[in-house]
Amino acid sequence: MVKILVFILTVSSVLISCIAQEAPLQKHINKPSKTLPLLHIQPEVYQLGDIKEGEEAVATFLIRNNHTQSIELVDIQASCGCTAAEPDSYVIMPNTFTQLKVTVDTTAKQSNIKKSITVKDSLGNEASAILQFNVVENPHLSLNRKIKGIFDGKCASCHFEPLLKQQPVAKLYEVGCAMCHGADAGGGYAPKLKGYASLSALKTIISDGVGKPQMPGFAQKNGGPLTQVQIEALSKWLVDLPE
């Protein structure tokens, strides 16, 4: 009788131990996987490394359709005109992907650059990604191309053409300056423009530039888009900004 009782207790102990070990395993098996977004760009951040000024920065992303039905890409936007994004296909079948080639013109760019790409599909989904790279000096870049700088080629769609329109001075800064000098003029890719004590010094910088293609003279006399009246108004607006 005692042997039978010991045997029963031993078997019970083994069963309890097995159940205890199985429970966490079963919980792990049944745990749902992380839900992927229905529209997804991979990688979300693409680090391209060093690119010589004047050479194209090129990266290939994947646009994934994680939906159960086909989608069509209806809108592809880049952060500025120097960045082009073109997919292999605008229609993506369920649970497949298409490649997205992103090309950036690096003319008149320097140091660390970040460009964003946003895509939207026919079902209302949206996805974004970032391309980052570092522009280094190119000793073989022609002098003529350096002089043209941001007023030429693809860059003109951001730095020249929008500034030809008559608009309030705050809007003028937003469309022509904020992308480099920051939304509040506090600095970004380029130095800050607010905080100048000398109105005449700031007018000279905007009008005649600083001797670099990244910041050429914006006055029409220097091949830029701004009239003297616009430069006067923009300079005063910047000087009056609170620190």
Instruction: Answer whether residue 19 shows pLDDT above 80.
Output: no
Token code pair at residue 182 = 């920051």
Question: Can you name the residues that pair with 127 across neighbouring β-strands?
Answer: 119
Residue-wise pLDDT tens digits, 153-173 = 777 777 788 888 878 988 888
Closest by CA to 175, choosing from 190, 187, 159, 188, is: 159
DSSP 104-171: EE-TT--EEEEEEEEEEETTS-EEEEEEEEEEE--TTS-HHHHHHGGGSGGGHHHHTGGGGS---HHH
Backbone angles phi, psi at 118, to 5 degrees: -130, 130
Closest by CA to 234, choosing from 203, 201, 192, is: 203
Report the alpha-carbon distance of residue 196 to residue 214 in Å, rounded: 20
In the chain the domains, ranked by start, together with CATH numbers, are: 39-136 (2.60.40.10), 143-239 (1.10.760.10)
Report the alpha-carbon distance of residue 97 to residue 6 in Å, rounded: 62
Residue-wise pLDDT tens digits, 86-125 = 999 999 999 999 999 999 988 778 788 889 999 999 999 9
pTM: 0.61
